[in-house]
Structure 1
Amino acid sequence: MGTWGTGSFENDSAADFIKEVVEDGAVALREALEVVLDPELDYIEVEEGSRAIAAAEIIAAITSGDHRNITDADLLSWVEEANASSLSSQREQALDAVDRVLGPDSELPELWEDSDDQRDWQRDVQRLRSSLG
């Protein structure tokens, strides 16, 4: 996975996911969360984890009205037009997905573990958790 920063959208998986959301809307968000919340999934690969974090970030932006972390112009347009009330029920699911991605059976925290940017990544994910909770 190509990563250029610690933010929720600063990796290849999230960048690809943005395109899916712009094309498919809320369906893409729901699917990204459902994948990591599937009780039969034993281990969350980095791509699935990154997509779930990005989906949670989008849901947080829509339901809170705080769009600061949405930097892609097409995604920002989609977020600004999205119906917050229809996605508010997914906030808890998004928080559960973030928690599962941060858990011991997930590749994403393992990759950040040996990075000089681990604290920055953890801080950003905790900011996301707070905005969802």
Structure 2
Amino acid sequence: MSEIQPLNQRFRGPGAALRRVSAPAARMPPTAHEENDMGTWGTGPFDNDAAADFAGALDAAEPERRVVMVRDVLVRTIEAKGGLEDADEAVAGAALVAAQCPGGEPVDTDYGPQQPMPAFPDDLRKLADEALARTATDPCGPAPNWVDAEDAEQWQAVLARLRAVLVPPPAISASDAERPA
């Protein structure tokens, strides 16, 4: 098996401007900061080095191992104590799970996996939703680290869309809709 090269050594994303910083680096100009050698170039699930590297690792893994890798990153994020070290990978994994759900959008980016993903078991939907909820709100996660408020709103909207697909609202029956409130 060939060694997986970190994304920042393979190519840079469009614009290459970093939009997220860690709390200690918040005093630095956003374009001068790299968080653990991680660049962020957009608000999509695979628009950062960590998620793109995760996609590369998925591509390099045997197909039967890919489900385990996605499950593991979701569980690590849900159960994390302190910082959310795997949050970007968990968002990427959740996007892959959501892509297989009714109403899910396909992962169609050069930074996502290029190999087909196996069918993910239904129980991953709940884990993906929990990992996204934790990532979206945890003060030790990426949510408070966005420099630009508009980027932060777009990123939160991406997470909300993924969550809506993973756990759709309960259907309202015709009899419920006719009842007065």
TM, length-normalised to structure 2:
0.62
Equivalent residue for 1:121, pick from 146, 155, 167: 155
CA-based RMSD of the aligned residues comes to 2.1
Greater Rg, structure 1 or structure 2? Answer: 2
Q: CA deviation at 1:65?
A: 7.2
Q: How does 1:52-67 map to 2 (within 5 A)?
A: 52-64=90-102, 66-67=104-105
Alignment-mate amino acid for residue 56 of structure 2: K
Q: Give the direction of change, closer, same or farther, for the CA distance of 1:76–1:63 in structure 2 (3 Å limit).
A: farther
Corresponding residue for residue 82 of structure 2? 42
Q: Is the 8 A contact 2:43 2:155 kept in 1?
A: yes
Q: Is the 8 A contact 2:45 2:91 kept in 1?
A: yes
Q: CA deviation at 1:4?
A: 0.8
Q: How does 1:75-94 map to 2 (within 5 A)?
A: 75-79=113-117, 82-84=118-120, 87-94=121-128
Q: Is the 8 A contact 1:32 1:51 kept in 2?
A: yes
Q: Is the 8 A contact 1:6 1:117 kept in 2?
A: yes
Matched, 1:30 2:68: no
Corresponding residue for residue 105 of structure 1? 139
Unmatched tracts of structure 1, length 5 or more: none
Q: Give the direction of change, closer, same or farther, for the CA distance of 1:44–1:67 in structure 2 (3 Å limit).
A: same
User: Higher helix proportion, which one?
Assistant: 1
Q: Give the direction of change, closer, same or farther, for the CA distance of 1:97–1:73 in structure 2 (3 Å limit).
A: closer
Q: Give the direction of change, closer, same or farther, for the CA distance of 1:65–1:124 in structure 2 (3 Å limit).
A: closer
Which structure is richer in relative contact order (CA contacts within 8 A, separation 6 or more)?
1
Alignment-mate amino acid for residue 55 of structure 1: G
Q: Is the 8 A contact 2:77 2:90 kept in 1?
A: yes
Matched residue count: 125
* C-alpha separation in 2, matches of 1:99 and 1:34: 12
What are the superposed Cα offsets for residues 70-106 of structure 1, whole Å, 9 maximum, x if unpaired?
3248725413xx224xx22110011001111112333
